[in-house]
Amino acid sequence: MNATIKDVAKKAGVAISTVSLVVNHKGHVAKETELKVLRAIKELNYHPQRSARGLVTKQSGNFGFILNGNHFSQAEPFYTKIFLGTEIQARSFDYYILLTTITQNVTPKNIPRFLLERNVDGVILAGSVPHKIVDYLHKNQLPFILIDYYFPERHDSTILTDNAMGIRLVIDHLLELGHRDLAFIGGDMGHPSMQKRCSTFKSYLQQKGAPIEDAKIDCIEEHSGTESGFAATTRLLEKNISISAIVAANDAMAVGALRACRDRKIRIPEEIAITGFDDVESSITARPTLTTVHVPKEEMGAAAVRHLVDVINGRQSEGVRIIMPVKLVARESTLGAIPPG
């Protein structure tokens, strides 16, 4: 039904191998011959078939994207953006993305099928991901890169956000606004990003000579969603200690904090200012809009793809650690309502 390289060769009156050379821009082909071949290709609407090509080159033209299923349902917008970033960048390099979500507890044999069947040329892993999979990739020498996660004891290629910088920006912003009693809420402390945000909060505040009390830090929540933010904030408020601003470990928790305050008729930011982290959609749909740290999510996905492509082409070796810059986005939850007009 569909034209093959053979048909093209016949129509152009050349050998199959010559067509291949033209298609792949390899070797020395006379201008004239090339034209003949190109014309035949166009006329027959020929496109090389992936599987045939892959059989000999051992390249699939795909990247795998592995995502913790919990993440995708919970912190959806964050990882969706990253995924979108990979998709677009991958397309520009003529790759496709095979997405799969995995459950946290990988049973012995649920390595994603695309790995077993060697149907990907590289793998992107976003968020917390089982050690076992990374081991598998390592053993099979498949290029891979982690996004927003890492194993402290290993030296994998990784893309991280500048969590420390983000927290510093937030603190500077709040201090500048005159806040003195800062609190911190976090959760999911198994995640290195969360840990970093929390630890930076403490260390930087100390460095700034601001008072820092453990009572104002609540990081015991297991997850880091809206409910967790709500719960943590409620606990803080019930302590009846002086708090003028709450720094949340991410936007979802900040929204929870917003809600907890709202329930108690606490005015934001007049009585308590609140900040988030990530700059996902909800930070702008929330009322008041959320002051937060912008994380370049799409760019992180794109950078991951570029790295894989570079590794495959031997232009870069594995083991790099890319730290993406962040910036502060000041909105109503610290500045107050922007006067209309």
Partner DNA sequence: TATAGTAATCGAAACGTTTCGACATTATTT
Partner DNA sequence: AAATAATGTCGAAACGTTTCGATTACTATA
Q: Which does 4 bind (CB under 5 to 8 A by kind): a copy of itself, DNA, none?
A: DNA
Each residue 66-95 as x (binds a copy of itself by CB under 8 A) or -, in order, gives ------xx--xx--x---x--xx--x--x-
Reading phi first (left if > 0) and then psi (alpha if -120 to 50, else beta), residue 288 is in: beta
For a copy of itself, the closer of residues 48 and 336 by Cβ is 48
Q: Is 286 in the site for a copy of itself (CB under 8 A)?
A: yes
CB of 118 to a copy of itself, least distance (A): 6
What is the smallest separation between the CB atom of 2 and a copy of itself, expressed in angstroms? 7
Count of CB atoms situated within 10 Å of the CB of 188: 22
**Residue nearer to a copy of itself on the CB measure, 92 or 206:** 92
Residue 26 binds: one of DNA, a copy of itself, none (C-beta under 5 to 8 A by kind): DNA
Which residue type does 206 have? Q
Instruction: Write out the residues near DNA by the rule CB under 7 A.
Output: 4-6, 13-21, 23-24, 26-33, 46-49, 52-53, 55-57
Minimal distance, residue 5 CB to DNA, in Å: 3
23 binds a copy of itself (CB under 8 A): no
Rg of the chain taking only CA atoms, in angstroms: 26
Shortest distance in whole angstroms from residue 324 CB to DNA: 35
Among 8, 36, 40, 62, binds a copy of itself (CB under 8 A): 62
Task: Take residue 137 and report the two structure tokens written for it.
Answer: 């990739």
Which residue type, as a one-letter code, is found at position 270?
E
Distance CA 117, CA 250 (A): 37
Where does the chain have alpha helices with state H?
Answer: 5-12, 16-23, 31-44, 50-57, 69-74, 76-92, 113-116, 131-139, 163-176, 192-207, 226-238, 251-263, 282-285, 297-312, 332-335
139 binds, among DNA, a copy of itself, none (CB under 5 to 8 A by kind): none
DSSP letter string over 57-116? H---SEEEEEEEHHHHHHSHHHHHHHHHHHHHHHHHTT-EEEEEEE-SS--TT---HHHH
The pair of structure tokens assigned to 45 is 């609407």
Beta strands 292-294; 327-329: pairing state: antiparallel
Nearer to DNA, 57 or 73 (CB): 57
b/e per residue 200-213 (b: at least 16 CB within 10 A): bbeebbeeeeeebe
Neighbours of 89 (CB within 10 A): 22
**Which one of 43, 135, 213, 263 is in contact with a copy of itself (CB under 8 A)?**
263
Residue 99 CB, shortest distance to DNA, in Å, is 24
* 178/165 Cα distance (integer angstroms): 20
Closest distance of CB 136 from DNA, Å: 18
Q: Is 50 in the site for a copy of itself (CB under 8 A)?
A: yes
Q: Which residue lies nearer to DNA by CB, 18 or 193?
A: 18
- By CB under 8 A, name the one of 250, 282, 333, 334 that touches a copy of itself: 282
> Is residue 164 at the binding interface for a copy of itself, with CB under 8 A as the rule?
no
Question: In the complex, which residues of this chain contact a copy of itself (CB under 8 A)?
Answer: 2, 47-55, 60-62, 72-73, 76-77, 80, 84, 87-88, 91, 94, 96-101, 113-114, 116-119, 140, 226, 255, 262-263, 281-282, 285-287, 340
